[in-house]
Structure 1
């Protein structure tokens, strides 16, 4: 994650939406059409099309080969490029949290594994902790996608504790 580059204004705007972040997650590892994305999100395909076009225009989604749907309609599936993993977008933090909360609300509580940890770390220890977390995330992000394996999601936040001065 050390190789993250700053997002351009258009990239940052594209990622400043919980809905767009959810679209990227839906299209991660498997291409989906606008209609399929809308069905997963319970939204109107026309409104989803606007968002997919924004994500395509900014390079976060890649259109795949056109195909014909059940009634012969032209369909274009989209696949996430994983470009957002390599960008630094500070303004995305709230959108990412909103997307996480929306997705988490759809998961049965017994299937959620949570942990909350309070730490007191000196600067050197905090730096080591961050480095080790980044290395672990990079290691697993670099693994090839196995479409036969169950899909998992991880949301991790490290922040100063406002409750313990």
Structure 2
């Protein structure tokens, strides 16, 4: 797996929000304006703009060239930089889980695949499993974005099982 760099305090704070993580996902591969993002999330554009500015200031979103809207208003679309895949921020952990829960609740149930697996692995086997899985995730994350393909989301968690000693 590629090495992730530790997040700065500002980066960690920016990523410690399920809403901001959802904004990054919305802007992955295609730029969206503040108004479009607010409509997708069912939120007020003014509060979304605050989150967008935080993500721009920390390098997770990048403004795209200005365009004119339907009524001639100035619009700035924002595009995710994919920087969030390159940083490690412990405070992001619960935000990732919350964003996953919010997003999966909006997906058609018949299209959601969820699996849960209990394992007992020796330390060397666990290290190999992690390395192979995370290497695959890095490989897929580097694929070029195909706007004509359906959009999918993946949530991965590996944790000690507190239920089995």
State the TM-score, normalized to the length of structure 2: 0.99
Aligned partner of residue 65 in structure 1, secondary structure: coil
Q: Any runs of at least 4 consecutive aligned residues in structure 1 with deviations exceeding 2 A, and if so which?
A: none
- 1:78 is aligned to 2:78: yes
Give 2:140's aligned residue: 140
Aligned partner of residue 106 in structure 2, secondary structure: coil
The answer for unaligned runs of 5 or more in structure 2 is: none
Paired with 2:91 and 2:74, the residues of 1 have a C-alpha distance of 36
Pairwise CA distance, 1:2: 3.6
Give 2:124's aligned residue: 124
Pairwise CA distance, 1:108: 1.6
Pairwise CA distance, 1:3: 1.1
Paired with 1:138 and 1:96, the residues of 2 have a C-alpha distance of 17
Aligned partner of residue 71 in structure 1, secondary structure: coil
Aligned partner of residue 32 in structure 1, secondary structure: coil
2:2/2:138 contact within 8 Å kept: no
Deviates most, 107-116 or 43-52: 107-116
Pairwise CA distance, 1:114: 1.1
State the TM-score, normalized to the length of structure 1: 0.99
